[in-house]
Amino acid sequence: MNQPKPTGNLVDLRAHRRETHGTVEPEITFHRQELERILNLYSFMVAAGEWRDYAIDFMQDRAVFSVYRRAREVPLYQIVKEPKRARRQGEWSVVTGEGLVVKRGRDLALVLRVFDRQLKIVRD
């Protein structure tokens, strides 16, 4: 029996990107526990009506979780992981849409506490 001929070529995407763009795959990502902590905060803020959308970007030097009130706006906040800053100022930071660093530190849980004031739900 004749087997069908393959119709395409198998391409190593990492090698192809290196050759065509001179770049490699992003290296900085969020670990599962980090992303879980960030998404827990995000879900609480969505339930409170403060945040409505998010985006995650992985780059060579950092990973960014951006939160939005509306999808077409600049982000309200960005939760940034930059390992190269780990020894000096801490690898975690919360940055406003205007670029102002609100909080920076080595522990994600402590850095995210900057949102604690906004997390209170008042019931009548």
* Contact assessment for residue 81 and residue 92, using Cβ atoms and an 8 Å cutoff: yes
- pLDDT surpasses 60 at 36: yes
51 vs 44: CA distance, rounded Å: 9
* Phi, psi angle pair for 111, to nearest 5°: -65, -40
* Phi, psi angle pair for 57, to nearest 5°: -125, 130
Confidence of residue 92 (pLDDT cuts 50, 70, 90): very high
Q: What is the pLDDT of residue 9?
A: 72
- pLDDT surpasses 80 at 14: no
Residue with the larger pLDDT of the pair 115 and 12? 115
- pLDDT surpasses 90 at 16: no
- pLDDT surpasses 70 at 21: no
7: left (phi over 0), alpha (psi -120 to 50) or beta: alpha
- pLDDT surpasses 60 at 100: yes
116 vs 124: CA distance, rounded Å: 20
User: Mean pLDDT in the chain?
Assistant: 84
Q: How far apart, in Å, are the Cα atoms of 108 and each of 29, 40, 113?
A: 14, 13, 9
Q: What is the pLDDT of residue 4?
A: 64
Mean pLDDT computed over 15-27: 66
This prediction has a pTM of 0.73
